[in-house]
Structure 1
């Protein structure tokens, strides 16, 4: 399998900040990018050579898009699998549709990971209110009721603290296609980020500690402190098995809960991931450059850190209006995504520090 030549075009499904940073990484390697997204103002298009603004169900637009690109990838996992299958019949799609199908359904994902020897939090599928009441008897409270599909950044899930709250939680999430997950007493959350090349080669970044606020990632620190080496090894081995089982090409993120007796698998993201943004300055090869290398058939780069540790903080909502003040610290590396509306909790950018951190700040505060 030969690598894409310079000036080849990489198609990206999705027009958000991940697509934006992928397009920037592609340009540095001599590639053009073509964004396909339904959004009225996709920020990825600001830095891309071409844009198709159309719905993912528009087959005529998809066919034109396929004819204009040499390979297709995606920046988020909620692209309809049918659209990806349609494209895959016409142009290489990396990673493949199987990774998308697994990641799009929490129940399928958990069973897939269990089949590879992973251990998720205890769970039960829920289709009816009676299913939910039975699951609560088994799993207890507190528990998290989640939609099986389309959940991200804390959306599509409700915490149930007592049995009396079951009916309301079920109604809030619309009933059917749900999953109840037991709350596990985790010490911390961490992610394993890896890249897998077209030739099956793999590059692993150090484990990343994550702190969420309101279901949204707030902070990441690499390498993650305080993890048992054996637990890191187990989580890393599982992430590699997942990538290999999917014949994966590109960057894959797997999130875990750290418990006293070992890691519990939380979820996977078949794409570049928010917890890997620190790699732009903090690693020899950023996750975005790594993903482009993989889907283009190039050799993977080194995932080694450029310093002893790196810290990334998301800039959310109205914080963006004060973001330029962060540059008073000459060690701050600021990335703003060009989004017009600073809605509460919306990811507007991030700031990274490598080795040098704000005075008085806890690394994960």
Structure 2
């Protein structure tokens, strides 16, 4: 157990790190941020900040020497340099990063545990893409195997002609068939070092332009009916990885049961509603897990909860948002709004 007063290292300096640091401070911990960007919004609420590149192993070693435990808020942290952290505990284990960083590896891993993703095929050339489209069909979506999020690094192919003349990036790709779904939902769990697993209620998610727009709890009945099977897969993944901390899996609810979409080995945007809407937030439970503390109660704190992301200029409406006393506003302190950038979120509780 890591007692309050010690320092938690956080790899990544964005809004997830900011909210982890705020939850850690409530429990009496200091946080030290490590990020390659100079303008870290997580560092603004933390005790220390190391501004250095991911492959600077000397800087990583100095950072780790100040920490009792290290975690991350960003799944694209390069794995190889993390050996510089040495004997300082790193949660979740880097094997979770390695699995989630490559979409092809991730899908094979999920299939090996009995999960069902959309049909998929690796793509390294135009010939591979043509073969994948012939085998899986269209419509489909072409994605980079690594990095890319919120709709970035993705190309929708609605019919075969859409691929003609497509300028493929010089990196490994994956082609996935479209899934006909009723709704999208998340399974958000927290697993302690002792193997204790707590689940948050699964939010029903609505995306716009590839970016999460709204998460609602409880989900519709047809979604709720598929949550138990999705949780079983999530538990197998967490146990196989020896996972410690918050893990999020995104699913499509379909007429044939849940279809796996992707996993995030970290706290997740679809769990932001838990700050006000659960008895213990995903951020506090993540801190509890990585520090070896007992996990908190994940039950709903209200009859229902809705979380809406504030994208780009939507954050400028904060006076109107605050004029409704039922709204809980979270602004991330980012200096410049731009299309597709998450500037904050607002949560509403249904109490009766």
TM-score (normalizing by structure 1): 0.94
User: Aligned runs of 1:159-308 on 2, under 5 Å?
Assistant: 159-169=156-166, 171=167, 173-227=168-222, 229-308=224-303
Structure 1 position 128, deviation (Å): 1.1
Distance 2:224 2:266 in 1: 26
Structure 1 position 228, deviation (Å): 5.0
Distance 1:175 1:123 in 2: 19
Give 2:36's aligned residue.
38
SS at match of 1:343: coil
Give 2:118's aligned residue.
121
1:114-167 CA distance string (max 9 Å, x none): 000000000001111101101100111110000000011011110011212224
SS at match of 2:296: coil
Structure 1 position 321, deviation (Å): 1.4
Give 1:56's aligned residue.
54
Distance 1:168 1:225 in 2: 42
Paired residues of 2:189 and 2:200 also in contact (CA < 8 A): yes
SS at match of 1:307: coil
Distance 2:351 2:337 in 1: 28
SS at match of 2:70: strand
Paired residues of 1:85 and 1:97 also in contact (CA < 8 A): no
Give 2:89's aligned residue.
92
- My pick for the range that moved more, 159-168 or 279-288, is 159-168
Paired residues of 1:128 and 1:176 also in contact (CA < 8 A): no
Give 2:153's aligned residue.
156
Structure 1 position 224, deviation (Å): 1.0
SS at match of 1:334: strand
Paired residues of 1:128 and 1:175 also in contact (CA < 8 A): no
- How many residues align structurally? 352
SS at match of 1:339: coil
Change (3 A) 1:237 1:9: same
Q: Note the aligned Cα RMSD (angstroms).
A: 1.2
Paired residues of 2:185 and 2:223 also in contact (CA < 8 A): no
Distance 1:177 1:149 in 2: 8
Paired residues of 1:123 and 1:181 also in contact (CA < 8 A): yes
SS at match of 1:238: helix
Structure 1 position 254, deviation (Å): 0.2
Gaps of 5+ in 1: 358-365
Paired residues of 2:122 and 2:173 also in contact (CA < 8 A): yes
Distance 2:165 2:84 in 1: 39
Paired residues of 1:189 and 1:211 also in contact (CA < 8 A): yes
SS at match of 2:195: coil
Paired residues of 2:183 and 2:223 also in contact (CA < 8 A): no
Paired residues of 2:267 and 2:286 also in contact (CA < 8 A): yes
Paired residues of 1:257 and 1:263 also in contact (CA < 8 A): yes
Give 1:102's aligned residue.
99
Gaps of 5+ in 2: none
Distance 1:344 1:177 in 2: 27
Distance 2:282 2:176 in 1: 30
1:299-354 CA distance string (max 9 Å, x none): 00000000111100001111111123201111100000000010111000000001
TM-score (normalizing by structure 2): 0.98
1:265-288 CA distance string (max 9 Å, x none): 000000000000000000000000
Paired residues of 1:331 and 1:356 also in contact (CA < 8 A): no
Give 2:19's aligned residue.
21
SS at match of 1:305: coil
SS at match of 1:144: strand
